[in-house]
């Protein structure tokens, strides 16, 4: 079963399984945040336009399009 970050439960730690995007710039941007396969990610909170995530002790706000591309 494929679960996307957009459907994640707040406060639970997940391991990123895959990044589903054909956009190399988007892939490179996520990689620069530390968001790649095998890395842990936690949704701190869901907001209207996306979610706040914690990756490697840093917090980022990502939009729904990015959250939908991250498979956990």
The per-residue pLDDT for range 15-61, each reduced to its tens digit, is 999 999 899 998 898 999 999 999 999 999 999 999 999 999 899 99
pLDDT at 72: 95
pLDDT band at 1 (very low <50, low <70, confident <90, very high): confident
Q: What is the pTM of this model?
A: 0.89
Indicate the domain borders of the chain: 5-71
Q: Within 13 Å and on the Cβ side, how many CA atoms surround 41? A: 32
Distance CA 68, CA 58 (A): 20
pLDDT at 37: 94
Q: What angle do CA 71, 42, 69 make, to 5 degrees?
A: 25
Residue 2 has pLDDT above 90, yes or no: no
pLDDT at 58: 95
- Does domain 5-71 correspond to CATH entry 2.30.30.90? yes
């Amino acid at each position: 079963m494929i679960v996307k970050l957009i459907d994640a439960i707040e406060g639970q730690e997940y391991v990123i399984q895959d990044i589903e995007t054909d956009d190399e710039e988007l892939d490179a941007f996520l990689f620069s945040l530390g968001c790649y396969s095998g890395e842990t990610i936690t949704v701190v909170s869901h907001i209207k336009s996306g979610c706040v995530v914690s990756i490697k002790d840093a917090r980022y706000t990502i939009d729904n399009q990015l959250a939908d591309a991250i498979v956990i």
